[in-house]
């Protein structure tokens, strides 16, 4: 198989070189483009960046480029001319310019649905985002703490208690999947939920697969899974509509169905509700589970940070009766734990880079970014810049005590920034804090895998899913 892949790569490269030689004389280069080469047609720098993702050296890949060409450079990715922008000023442009909405390729839209929030901009984006935020705002999250607390405890009792070894990443994925299923779709444990979990996995796999819609391809499986997931959600929506008096706070679908404008009309169409109910699962399930996995990975080898965290959680537990669930106020006292989460995200950003598309020509840093080009931002350019975060490789949660007074705006971008900043940040925070509370109070752990490395596809994924050895401190 490896041999076959090498032959295909060789043929594609040879074909690209021929096209390049035939066409280069005719090309006229628009003026004032950023420095850098677009490389070979079709391939550009795609193979280099994919390899860097795989061996987890993508930070160096970006760093080398920025070192060579400066904070604005051009290259070519997935057959499209692309500009890499780096630094706080570039991040500000990326997050605040209305000329740079996210770039969602058509093949991803086929999986996510045309009306998904990531593919929209302008008024449509604001309307959908406003509706999602109504469900994800702190006043609403307060109502879910109890439910999330119950899900976390149930998960730990079922999957961690009494075990001497566990594999963290798949368990964290199961936990965040169950939490989102309950809160977003009102789906409790059942065969239907298991089938839905399988379909969500296929959809995610299709987002990073070669987009060829032929039998037996990952992409074809992903499209089929998306159709099944959509049918399931349409069914849930019909049920919720029929349930007279269903509380709009019960789950996201009931909430979106209940929203009315000033004329009493439903704010979102059925297609918009289906597409955007799926988004929290796609954008929120792998991200939050990955962050928790990497916190567990780090804490295994940082006893000082773990001890400070454990102390924070013991103090909170001291004021509670046995078995009493956590409250919103308890979460607000977990400041150190959230700094540990932020520092983990700084060093290992779950979203390391993301694409925008230039809707018009844009001037930046003395260069022109032509209309229609892809623009890429990368979190590591600022997260690992020693002039912004001194000794960037050192794990130091205290950096986040007073971040806004010590770093320029848009330096820490683990959740993005501007009007498209992650709307699920506070929801992710509740999940992380509740889970960490029970983990550090009841368990200690050691990494069982000697090879403590990770790959990116594109979210970071520890080798072998992070197996650990567990010791129980106290019963749950
Ligand atoms: C640790 C967990 C999470 C991380 C690190 C994270 C990170 C991010 C980042 C970096 C962006 C901006 C991407 C860009 O500008 O290109 C983003 C956007 C988004 N995130 Fe999250 N996210 C997390 C959890 C969640 C959760 C739990 C949800 C849903 C409940 C969610 C829903 C979204 C949505 C809908 C967007 C697009 C917003 C828009 O375009 O207006 N995320 N996230």
For the chain (476 residues), the mean pLDDT of every run of 10, in chain order, is 48 53 54 91 86 88 94 93 96 96 92 94 93 93 95 97 97 96 88 94 90 93 96 90 68 88 89 93 93 98 98 96 95 98 98 94 96 95 96 97 93 96 97 98 94 88 95 89
- Binding-site residues for heme sit at 422
Distance (Å) from CA 213 to ligand 1 centroid: 28
Nearest CA to ligand 1 atom 13: 416
Residue 445 CA to residue 437 CA, distance in Å, equals 15
| Closest residue by Cα to residue 317 from 473, 92, 128 | 473
Distance (Å) from CA 109 to ligand 1 centroid: 17
Starting at the edge strand found earlier in the chain, the sheet holding 165-167 runs 165-167, 467-472, 443-447
Distance (Å) from CA 215 to ligand 1 centroid: 32
| Per-residue confidence (pLDDT) for residue 233, from 0 to 100 | 92
Q: Which residue ranges form the domains of the chain, and what is each CATH number?
A: 31-119+357-396 (3.30.43.20)
Distance (Å) from CA 430 to ligand 1 centroid: 15
- Ligand 1 pocket test, pick from 131, 415, 432 with the greatest ligand atom count within 8 Å of Cβ, gives 415
Residue 137 CA to residue 408 CA, distance in Å, equals 26
| Per-residue confidence (pLDDT) for residue 186, from 0 to 100 | 86
Distance (Å) from CA 378 to ligand 1 centroid: 15
Atom of ligand 1 nearest to the CA of 354: 16
Distance (Å) from CA 288 to ligand 1 centroid: 10
- Ligand 1 pocket by Cβ (under 6 Å): 102, 117-118, 129, 136, 279-280, 283-284, 287-288, 291, 345, 350-351, 354, 414-416, 420, 422-424, 427-428
Distance (Å) from CA 421 to ligand 1 centroid: 7
Distance (Å) from CA 428 to ligand 1 centroid: 9
| Per-residue confidence (pLDDT) for residue 5, from 0 to 100 | 44
- Binding-site residues sit at 422
Nearest CA to ligand 1 atom 19: 422
- Ligand 1 pocket test, pick from 181, 287, 456 with the greatest ligand atom count within 8 Å of Cβ, gives 287
Residue 392 CA to residue 386 CA, distance in Å, equals 6
- Ligand 1 pocket test, pick from 128, 413, 424 with the greatest ligand atom count within 8 Å of Cβ, gives 424
- Ligand 1 pocket test, pick from 200, 283, 418, 430 with the greatest ligand atom count within 8 Å of Cβ, gives 283
| Per-residue confidence (pLDDT) for residue 476, from 0 to 100 | 84
| Per-residue confidence (pLDDT) for residue 17, from 0 to 100 | 53
Nearest CA to ligand 1 atom 24: 284
Atom of ligand 1 nearest to the CA of 413: 10
Nearest CA to ligand 1 atom 8: 415
Distance (Å) from CA 128 to ligand 1 centroid: 14
Pairing of strands 362-364, 443-447: unpaired
| Closest residue by Cα to residue 211 from 112, 105, 54 | 105
| Per-residue confidence (pLDDT) for residue 294, from 0 to 100 | 98
């Amino acid at each position: 198989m490896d041999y076959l892949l090498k032959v295909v790569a060789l043929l594609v490269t040879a074909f690209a070189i021929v096209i390049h030689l035939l066409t280069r004389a005719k090309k006229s280069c628009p003026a004032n483009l950023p420095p850098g080469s677009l490389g070979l047609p079709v391939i550009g720098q795609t193979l280099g960046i994919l390899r860097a993702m795989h061996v987890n050296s993508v930070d160096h890949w970006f760093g080398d480029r920025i070192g060579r060409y400066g904070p604005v450079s051009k290259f070519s990715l997935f057959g499209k001319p692309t500009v890499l922008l780096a630094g706080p000023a570039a991040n500000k442009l990326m997050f605040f310019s209305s000329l740079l909405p996210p770039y969602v390729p058509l093949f991803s839209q086929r999986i996510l649905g045309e009306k998904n929030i990531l593919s929209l901009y302008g008024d449509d984006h604001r309307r959908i985002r406003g509706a999602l935020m109504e469900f994800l705002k702190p006043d609403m999250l307060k109502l879910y703490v109890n439910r999330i607390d119950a899900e976390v405890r149930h998960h730990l009792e079922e999957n961690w208690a009494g075990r001497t070894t566990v594999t963290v990443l798949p368990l964290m994925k199961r936990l965040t999947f169950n939490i989102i299923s309950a809160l977003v779709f009102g789906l409790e444990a059942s065969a239907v939920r298991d089938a839905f979990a399988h379909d969500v996995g296929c959809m995610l796999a299709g987002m990073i697969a070669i987009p060829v819609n032929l039998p037996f391809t990952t992409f074809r499986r992903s499209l089929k899974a998306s159709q099944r997931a959509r049918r399931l959600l349409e069914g849930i929506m019909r049920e919720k509509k029929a349930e007279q008096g269903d509380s709009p706070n019960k789950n996201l679908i009931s909430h979106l169905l209940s929203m009315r404008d000033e004329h009493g009309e439903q704010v979102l169409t059925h297609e918009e509700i289906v597409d955007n109910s799926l988004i929290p699962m796609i954008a929120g399930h792998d991200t939050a589970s990955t962050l928790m996995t990497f916190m567990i990975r780090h804490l295994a080898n940082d006893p000082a940070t773990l001890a400070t965290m454990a102390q924070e959680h013991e103090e909170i537990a001291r004021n509670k009766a046995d078995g009493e669930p956590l409250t919103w106020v308890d979460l607000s006292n977990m400041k150190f734990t959230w700094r540990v989460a932020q520092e983990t995200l700084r060093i290992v950003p779950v979203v390391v880079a993301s694409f925008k598309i230039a809707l018009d020509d844009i001037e930046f840093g003395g260069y022109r970014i032509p209309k229609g080009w892809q623009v890429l931002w990368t979190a590591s350019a600022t997260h690992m810049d020693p002039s912004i975060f001194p000794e960037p490789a050192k794990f130091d949660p205290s950096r986040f005590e007073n971040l806004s007074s010590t770093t320029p705006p848009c330096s820490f971008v683990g959740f993005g920034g501007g009007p498209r900043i992650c709307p699920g940040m506070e929801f992710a925070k509740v999940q992380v804090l509740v889970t960490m509370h029970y983990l550090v109070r009841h368990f200690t752990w050691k990494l069982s895998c000697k090879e403590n490395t990770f790959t990116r596809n594109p979210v970071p994924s520890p080798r072998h899913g992070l197996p650990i050895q567990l010791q129980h401190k106290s019963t749950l």
